[in-house]
A and B are shown apart, each in its own frame.
Chain A
Amino acid sequence: MSAQLAAKDFASSQEVRWCPGCGDYAVLKSVTRALADVGAVPEKTVFVSGIGCAARFPYYVETYGFHTIHGRAPAVATGLKLANPELDIWVVTGDGDGLSIGGNHLMHALRRNVGFKILLFNNEVYGLTKGQYSPTSRLGTRTPSSPNGSFDSPILPGSFAIGAGAKFIARAIDVDKVGLGGVLEAAHGFDGAAFVEIYQNCIVYNDGVYNAFTERDKEADAQLHVKHGEPLLFGADKSKGLAFEPQSMTLKVIDARANPSAVLVHDETNRTLAGLLVALAPPEFPVALGVILRQPGQSFEKAYYANQPTKLKRTGRVADALRQTSTWTVPAP
């Protein structure tokens, strides 16, 4: 690539077919901008998706793309990464695709630390099938398939990722250009599975589900933008902070001005802290956003090739392998 590409160069010619006002538009914009900002090479970039509204994503990006089957994008992407570790792979999934039908593959991609980005668009509802409750829907969510309110407990994507052994966990809001952009760039730079949960508003079936922390007047008190090495402060004038409560092994909100030394400093390599941060929820706590966990380690594909004495290079011949056993020769008469 000779010239630096712009965000628009990563937009494909395909007509985007999400509902007007869908949060996916904002995410698409942030992703194409991030691709331009990190200097992504279009022919080495691949978007792999499963099924769902978010899964249409690959059609709209001017890179390689594979729209696969429900829940299996991480598995397809794993095979792709093994075939060609040089590729820059982005898996796009949703709460149903990634945590319901494809939960197993997501879990194993995370624990193996396969080198791709996983963007989980969480809108707490099944959109493409017209509005049934999803595994992240809160208790009591009324939908066509739960007319009396859902009664099965939701899964917390961040806690799931912690449990699966993810080494990179980040979170952002669909329309938050700065926050999402920063998280996408950090994910891109991570060598391993980078799990990004995006709070995405479904304007048709679950509009306003995140209002408690995304509305203008609530942002300051309900959002905690974490940054490695900086104190965990929030509130309009950063007057609130998070501190550790040893008795119950939980976090608590304190007056940061009265007791600045008690405010925890974010350490993105600390899994225990990450486990506490991903579970915080309003109204008692703010929602943690940004890079919550980043633990550099060996990616699966590097380990995979390192595990092979020849790095999977064909150094031997089948003709010789055929003879690596007892052989005998029948002489010509």
Chain B
Amino acid sequence: MGSQSVVVRFAGDSGDGVQLMGTQFVAATALAGNDFATFPDFPAEIRAPAGTTFGVSAYQIHLGARPITTAGDAPQVLVAFNPAALKVNLPLLAPGALIVLNIDSFTSRGLAKAGYQADPRTSGVLDGYQVVEVDMTELTMGATASFGLSKSDAGRCKNFWALGLVQWMLNHDIAPIEDWITKRFAKDATIRDANLAALRAGHAYGETAELAAAVPHVKAIDAQFPPGEYRGVRGGEALSLGLAAAGELADRKIIFCSYPITPASTLLHQLARYGHLGVGTFQAEDELAAVCAAIGASYGGAIGVTSSSGPGIALKTEAIGLAVNAELPLIVIDSQRGGPSTGLPTKTEQSDLYQAVYGRNADTPIPVIAARSPSDCFEVAIEAVRIALRHMTPVMLLTDGYLANAAEPWLIPDVDAIPRIASNSARPRTAGEDVGAVIFDRNPESLGRPWVAPGTPNLMHRIGGLEKDLRTGNISYDAANHQAMTNLRADKVAAVAKFIPPQKVEHGPEQGKIAVVGWGSTYGAIYQAVRAMPERERVSHIHIRHLSPFPSNLGELLRGFDKILVPEMNMGQLASLLRDKLGVETQQLNKVTGQPFLIAEIVQKIRSLLAPTVAVRSKPKAVKGDRA
């Protein structure tokens, strides 16, 4: 069985090592020459009661020929470690999918915990699927019997057993995983050898006559990558590396200040290891302290960065206004998750766009940009720092729970080829000149002021949250001055558009019937959906990185299409923003289930818009919005 691509999903209890298994599978996939995209899907509970449906953790990998841009709509292979994992994931599977069941957990107790009245293996719910029943726990124990492990330790090796089996199915070499196990468990020879034995046993099991006959190899076609050096990367890693690169390009320290919150904490963990790259991290006492310490660091001449998800960003809001008023650079990273309030902490959503663009008291605009894929996080981090330093402003960088944890292959960028990041330096102060005249001598193009940190001789000055005089920087309650300062703050953010590239079309013609417009992590699903459309339908994909301000050609570009479709993982925030800023009406496709879009969902919506309508067509430029 050879196909363009295969979607594999592992599912089990939170404690089954499913996420670990997924990341190792990715490493092996990359080295096997397949393109891939992943989707770790885990519960908010760290260790939910074993065997329950709400404790099911899953890891999905889509692998095969390029371009793979999503983790796949419907898995063709499911490895279910227990009845609950089967129950939760069965509705997602492609027709005829291959299901590997660990039958050792299909006891009456296990079935009851999953809420199965009848054993699904005999009740008929699995009709139409190809089911392979394996006594995985038993076989793992058998394979590791010689190492003298306790029953529970031996049982824990079953994720490697299953990984070995799947590697066999996909014709992947298990050597990269063997290398990893050898390094990871170097300090405990027994665990290392037991895991290696489990991996090899699972792989060998595939070779046995009975399984080889039942399950043909699933072979994904190799990807055709452009030449170069590659690695796999998760969004959190790419964002961390991007921040470190920005520090290197600007020749400034990065001080990353954060309070732990799901799903943003991975950044803190990653950056805490980058001291040698000039990155300092500070785990603050709360979100307010985190953003304030970042502002303090920026004031001190380092690049202050803070990070959170929606609820934490809300807490930081007042301080972001301070950075706007004081005209200091600041990077605010929002790893969006399902809300409101605590919402769905581990599930993805794009519902903080309003908060990013509009969510502050008073007229307080800031630039907002969004990453669209795990590897794109690298570029976007650099871009955020570039904007913050050029315009002396906070910049909001939007990512989401899906991007933070998802992985894909990445052509390693050449850091030396990236333009350096400049900051505004102060001109010398002439004798007797008011210091404010130097500190607030703004660049006429960017409107960014010089960045003068304490420690600089002869330029002592005071800044703060009170309104200040446009020229001297002294406190000012003057009416005309406040108008002038408010205008300046708006003009400054608008000025960003002068420095960013025009909006391009990702796929499809520059003018046509439908522009499918997205932002953030919906990139992959939209791209594939648009590619699936016949060329004659003239459907294009436009994906916006710069959300505030928009690229200056965006309005004109969108007016070249009969209809604009905006798929979003929220209730229509980009759609409102487009209407607000550009006066364009859109068709909406909104999804807030905590799950990324399926390609099929977008395809279906595009088709419905392409279907001929009864009404006489007068090629409308604007179409009334509707809600999907």
State the A residues within 8 Å of B (CB). 12, 14, 42-46, 48, 51, 58-59, 62-69, 71-72, 75-84, 86-87, 104-105, 107-108, 304, 308-310, 312-319, 321-323, 325-333
Contacts and interface: CB of A to CB of B under 8 A. Distances in A.
Contacts of B176: 326
B454 A87 contact: yes
Interface residues of B, number: 72
A248 to B, nearest CB: 35
Contact of B292 (A75, A87, A319): A75
A83 B297 contact: yes
Interface stretch (B94-102, B143-151, B411-419, B515-523): B411-419
Interface string B267-308: 000000011111110101110111011111111111010000
Contact of A329 (B229, B453, B457): B229
Interface stretch (B125-133, B461-469, B574-582, B600-608): B461-469
Given A321-B241, A325-B231, A328-B31, A105 B285 contact: yes
Contacts of B326: 66
B622 interface: no
Contacts of A67: 462-466
Contact of B301 (A83, A316, A319): A83
Interface stretch (B243-251, B335-343, B485-493): B243-251
B460 A79 contact: no
B354 interface: no
Contacts of B457: 43
A104 B225 CA distance: 52
Contacts of B304: 79, 83
Interface string B64-89: 00000000000000000000000000
A64 B230 contact: no
10 shortest interchain CB distances as A-B pairs: A79-B296, A67-B464, A83-B300, A79-B293, A314-B278, A75-B292, A308-B275, A65-B462, A64-B454, A80-B296
Given A69-B322, A75-B288, A84-B301, 10 more contacts: A66-B464, A68-B292, A68-B322, A79-B292, A79-B293, A82-B255, A309-B276, A312-B279, A313-B276, A317-B277
B282 A82 contact: yes
A312 B322 contact: no
B56 interface: no
Contacts of A77: 296
A43 B459 contact: yes
Nearest to B326: A66
B31 A326 contact: yes
A129 B460 CA distance: 30
B208 interface: no
13 contacts: A14-B475, A42-B460, A46-B454, A72-B319, A75-B296, A78-B296, A79-B304, A105-B289, A308-B280, A318-B277, A321-B277, A322-B415, A326-B232
B385 to A, nearest CB: 13
Given A78-B282, A79-B255, A318 B245 contact: yes
Nearest to A49: B464
Contact of A312 (B33, B253, B293, B415): B253
A282 to B, nearest CB: 35
A48 B463 CA distance: 10
Nearest to B278: A314
Interface string B215-244: 000000000011111111000000001001
Interface string B400-430: 0000000000001111100000000000000
B497 interface: no
Nearest to B325: A69
Interface of B: 27, 30-31, 33, 176, 225-232, 241, 244-245, 247-248, 253, 255, 257, 274-280, 282, 284-286, 288-290, 292-302, 304, 318-319, 322, 326, 412-416, 453-466, 474-475
B519 to A, nearest CB: 26
Contacts of A64: 454, 460-462
Contact of B230 (A48, A76, A83, A327): A327
A328 B230 contact: yes
B228 A330 contact: yes
Nearest to B458: A43
Contacts of B274: 321
B297 A80 contact: yes
B462 A58 contact: yes
Nearest to B275: A308
Secondary structure call for the A interface? mixed
B27 A326 contact: yes
A12 B460 CA distance: 10
User: Which has the most chain B C-beta neighbours within 10 Å: A82, A83, A105?
Assistant: A83
Contacts of B286: 104
A332 B280 CA distance: 39
A80 B300 contact: yes
Contacts of A42: 460
B227 A68 contact: no
User: Which has the most chain B C-beta neighbours within 10 Å: A44, A76, A313?
Assistant: A76
Contacts of B280: 82, 304, 308, 312
Contact of B247 (A76, A84, A314, A322): A314
B270 to A, nearest CB: 10
A78 B228 CA distance: 43
A58 B466 CA distance: 13
Contacts of A314: 247-248, 253, 276-278
Contacts of A312: 253, 275, 278-280
A69 B459 CA distance: 23
A63 B30 contact: no
Given A67-B465, A75-B288, A317 B415 contact: yes
A86 B455 CA distance: 8
A313 B300 contact: no
A14 B253 CA distance: 33
Nearest to B179: A326
B72 to A, nearest CB: 22
A76 B286 CA distance: 13
Given A75-B288, A79-B292, A330 B225 contact: yes
Contacts of B257: 79
Nearest to B463: A66
B253 A327 contact: no
A68 to B, nearest CB: 6
A66 B323 CA distance: 11
Contacts of B30: 326, 328
Contacts of A69: 292, 318-319, 322, 465
A84 B241 contact: no
Nearest to A58: B462
B228 A329 contact: yes
A43 B297 contact: no
Contacts of B296: 48, 66, 75-83
A107 B33 CA distance: 54
Nearest to B276: A316
Contacts of B460: 42-43, 62-64
Given A42-B460, A82-B255, A316 B455 contact: no
A296 to B, nearest CB: 24
B315 to A, nearest CB: 11
A72 B230 contact: no
A80 B454 contact: yes
B391 to A, nearest CB: 20
Given A76-B293, A87-B300, A330 B463 contact: no
A97 to B, nearest CB: 13
B411 to A, nearest CB: 9
A79 B282 contact: yes
A326 to B, nearest CB: 5
Contact of B415 (A82, A304, A318): A318
User: Which has the most chain B C-beta neighbours within 10 Å: A72, A75, A329?
Assistant: A75
Contacts of A71: 288
Contact of B284 (A12, A75, A80, A107): A75
Contacts of A333: 227
Contacts of B414: 319
Given A14-B474, A44-B454, A328-B31, A322 B241 contact: yes
